[in-house]
Structure 1
């Protein structure tokens, strides 16, 4: 079977047409678009001032450090549980594969010493 090749034709102007975005009249975006570009940039810069931290606020470093330690402990606990779970599933899979092969010595039995 021969591979079929696509028919290649010269691209028409309708295939590569860029549409201009025009916001709806009366929308806030249309009103901002009427402003000069510099005024739009200054408006955005002024909006960012609400995210600035007031320098008079006292920073509670003790509380931040306790939160960081708690987050680190939580992450370590999740990691330990994940490793334990992975090892348990791996051991169960190994035992199941051994049993399915028909072997009888798949699990080690601990014998107590007297």
Structure 2
């Protein structure tokens, strides 16, 4: 049985040279050797920085509001964790009681005794 491979043209494979953002020009080659055969590159638009995605700030950054939101999120996370732990312990206790009852024992329920005086 033959394996079918997709037809790929040379235009789909392009080697891009990445350079640091601080340098305006790509670094010069260190050796004088002839470059290897590379497919001709299409004209690519100049790389833009991310400034076109920035939004102008009309008001100052509200540090206090962010900190209050962080504290509220932390408190919610702690409460959710505590509820999860309580629920897990309760389910484990109910399972122990159910296993005890299913074994036919009669002393399964815990009775709390308060001293009378």
Q: How many residues align?
A: 85
Q: Residue 59 of structure 1 aligns with which residue? A: 61
For the structure 1 residues 96 and 50, does the alpha-carbon distance in structure 2 shift closer, same or farther, using more than 3 Å as the test? farther
Counterpart of 1:70 (choices 65, 69, 72) is 72
Report the structure, 1 or 2, having the larger helix content.
1
Instruction: Tell me the TM-score normalised to structure 2 length.
Output: 0.60
Distance 1:89 1:60 in 2: 44
Aligned to 2:87: 85
Q: Distance in 2 between matches of 1:78 and 1:51?
A: 36
Distance 1:70 1:57 in 2: 23
Give the aligned partner of residue 7 of structure 2: 19
Q: Give the alignment's Cα RMSD to 1 decimal.
A: 2.8
* Structure 2 unmatched ranges of 5 or more: 10-41
Q: Which runs of 5+ in 1 are unaligned?
A: 1-8, 22-34
**Deviation by residue 1:53-98 (Cα, 9 ceiling, x = unmatched):** 5477511100000000000001001000100100010000010001
Bigger relative contact order (CA 8 A; separation at least 6) = 2
Deviations 1:25-73 (A, max 9, x none): xxxxxxxxxx723x1x63xx36x43432547751110000000000000
Calculate the TM-score normalised by the size of structure 1.
0.61
